[in-house]
């Protein structure tokens, strides 16, 4: 089978890119031919496969930004035409394509009657600001049903009036063109929670398949020990609940915590630690590569995922469970689908600082319980998130769609 994988970034930027590359590798290992369609960037990773790149668009600085290209890019459409003509895929699998690649790339795929799969790594199908958070970082569902005027009113896209207008126009264009309801043949949501949200937004439940992401379990078969510290790994941003975590640590006597990652709130976090005299409790490690993160987690007591937004299927949680460590996770989005309370970790009411502190204290003080949850975590991750299981599911989706197109 020939599969064209599409994602706007061709380097490891986040979960979407991790999935994009690892799915490509998995498919190649199983004997399929893979090509990639993305955006030019000096950080791009060579795959030794056919690669098709469109000109870069920088939405942050505005350089090279042509507003209409975010909605519909004729050049990107032509590049997709070229890719389809040369590679002749049996199926096209979209990941994050909105804005930088635009919906224009879908037209030539539909014209050739090639089935389209889309993995929804976020909720941009519903929310022009992607996160379903308002400008104050509170959960917001006002744009459901296409009520994008709310995005403009709240300046929800990076607190910019212009970018929010553009996001709302893009959302309206996608809705009018029925991109998610008609043009895309199958939507994969890495959590059941995201599937529910999309159904609430009037996308047919028959079109959506909830399928958790996968990891290479063997990579996480490493030795573990408990050195008595908690861990947070991820982006240092408000929606990740990082300040709730710091406030909770403040309430635990003699707590030891290590935070790995970078992000927009890094400076504010450093100030918070200094002002609240948390230097003896909290260590900021900055960016760590994959192997160092694994080592950090393997020596921890537990990992905390304190998000205050609708997380999908966080790789950090899956990887922690695969290593054999418990997770304390906010009971929001797709997190409780991975973290089963009092089985492979603990969950708490999101935004509840007192409860988070209590759950952390519980595992800090009970090494036996922490080990018990960790053992179950490893077992569940091995059974549920393996490459083999995912491959069976994804190939079944591909083959079913190809058969439908041929018979339709």
For position 113, which CATH number holds? 3.40.50.2000
- 311 and 192 in a common domain: no
Contacts 24+ apart (CB under 8 A), 64-67: 67/166
Contacts 24+ apart (CB under 8 A), 165-172: 166/67, 166/70, 166/71, 167/128, 167/129, 168/128, 169/71, 170/70, 170/71, 170/98, 170/99, 170/128, 171/128, 171/143, 171/146, 172/146, 172/148
- 390 and 376 in a common domain: no
pLDDT of residue 64: 46
Please give the residue range of the domain that contains residue 371: 217-384
- 371 and 247 in a common domain: yes
pLDDT of residue 66: 63
Q: What is the mean pLDDT of residues 210-219?
A: 96
How many structural domains compose the chain?
2
Q: Considering only CA atoms, which of 214, 226, 220, 218 is closest in space to residue 372? A: 226
- 27 and 16 in a common domain: yes
- 205 and 349 in a common domain: no
Whole-angstrom distance, CA of residue 320 vs CA of residue 298: 8
- 246 and 149 in a common domain: no
Q: What is the mean pLDDT of residues 271-279?
A: 96
Neighbour tally for 225: CB within 10 Å: 8
Strand bridging mode 282-286 / 345-348: unpaired
Q: What is the pLDDT of residues 38-95, one digit of tens each?
A: 999 999 999 999 999 999 987 665 444 566 778 889 999 999 999 999 999 999 999 9
Q: Considering only CA atoms, which of 320, 354, 355 is closest in space to residue 335? A: 320
CA–CA distances in Å: residue 88 to residues 23, 82, 121: 19, 10, 26
Helix (H) or strand (E) holding 96: none
- 225 and 149 in a common domain: no
| pLDDT over threshold 80, residue 398 | yes
- 298 and 397 in a common domain: no
Q: What is the pLDDT of residues 305-341, one digit of tens each?
A: 999 999 999 999 999 999 999 999 999 999 999 999 9
- 142 and 47 in a common domain: yes
Q: Considering only CA atoms, which of 154, 107, 162 is closest in space to residue 127? A: 154
Neighbour tally for 8: CB within 10 Å: 24
pLDDT of residue 386: 93
The pLDDT-based confidence of 184 (bands split at 50, 70, 90) is: very high
Q: What is the pLDDT of residues 354-380, one digit of tens each?
A: 999 999 999 999 999 999 999 999 999
Whole-angstrom distance, CA of residue 87 vs CA of residue 51: 10
Q: What is the pLDDT of residues 285-303, one digit of tens each?
A: 999 999 999 999 999 999 9
SS3 207: helix
- 222 and 186 in a common domain: no
Average pLDDT score, the chain: 95
- 168 and 97 in a common domain: yes
For residue 133, the cross-strand partners are: 139
Whole-angstrom distance, CA of residue 257 vs CA of residue 229: 5
Whole-angstrom distance, CA of residue 378 vs CA of residue 383: 9
- Structure tokens given for 120: 């929804």
pTM for the model stands at: 0.94
pLDDT of residue 60: 65
- 102 and 113 in a common domain: yes
| pLDDT over threshold 90, residue 219 | yes
């Amino acid at each position: 089978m020939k599969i064209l994988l599409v994602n706007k970034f061709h380097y490891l930027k986040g979960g979407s890119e991790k999935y994009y590359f690892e799915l490509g590798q998995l498919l190649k290992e199983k004997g399929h031919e893979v090509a990639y369609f993305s955006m030019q960037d000096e950080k791009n990773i060579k795959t030794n496969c056919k690669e098709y790149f469109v000109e870069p668009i920088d939405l942050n600085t505005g350089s090279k930004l042509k507003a209409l290209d975010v909605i519909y890019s004729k050049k990107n459409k032509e590049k997709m035409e070229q890719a389809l003509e040369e590679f002749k895929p049996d199926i096209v699998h979209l990941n994050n394509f909105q804005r930088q690649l635009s919906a224009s790339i879908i037209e030539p795929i539909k014209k050739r009657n090639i089935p389209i799969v889309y993995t929804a790594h976020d909720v941009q199908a519903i929310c022009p600001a992607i996160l379903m958070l308002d400008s104050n970082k509170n959960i917001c569902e006002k744009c459901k049903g296409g009520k994008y005027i709310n995005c403009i009113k709240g300046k929800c896209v990076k607190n910019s009036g212009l970018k929010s207008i553009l996001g709302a126009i893009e959302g309206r264009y996608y809705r009018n063109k029925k991109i998610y309801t008609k043009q895309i043949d199958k939507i994969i949501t890495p959590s059941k929670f995201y599937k529910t949200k999309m159904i609430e937004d009037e996308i047919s439940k028959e079109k959506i398949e909830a399928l958790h992401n996968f990891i290479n379990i063997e990579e996480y078969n490493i030795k573990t020990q408990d050195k008595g510290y908690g861990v947070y790994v991820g982006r240092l941003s408000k929606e990740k609940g990082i300040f709730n975590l710091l406030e909770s640590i403040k309430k635990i006597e003699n707590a030891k915590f290590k935070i790995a990652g970078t992000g927009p709130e890094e400076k504010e976090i450093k100030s918070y630690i200094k002002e609240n005299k948390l230097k003896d409790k909290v260590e900021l490690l900055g960016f760590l590569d994959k192997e160092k993160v694994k080592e950090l987690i393997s020596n921890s007591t537990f990992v905390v995922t304190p998000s205050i937004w609708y997380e999908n299927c966080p790789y950090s949680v899956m990887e922690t469970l695969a290593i054999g460590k418990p997770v304390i996770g906010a009971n929001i989005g797709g997190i409780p689908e991975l973290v089963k309370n009092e089985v492979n970790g603990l969950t708490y009411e999101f935004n509840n600082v007192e409860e988070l502190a209590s759950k952390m204290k519980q595992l800090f003080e009970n090494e036996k319980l922490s080990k018990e949850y960790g053992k179950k975590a490893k077992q569940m991750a091995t059974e549920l998130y393996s490459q083999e299981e995912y491959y069976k599911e994804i190939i079944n989706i591909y083959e079913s769609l190809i058969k439908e197109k041929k018979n339709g």
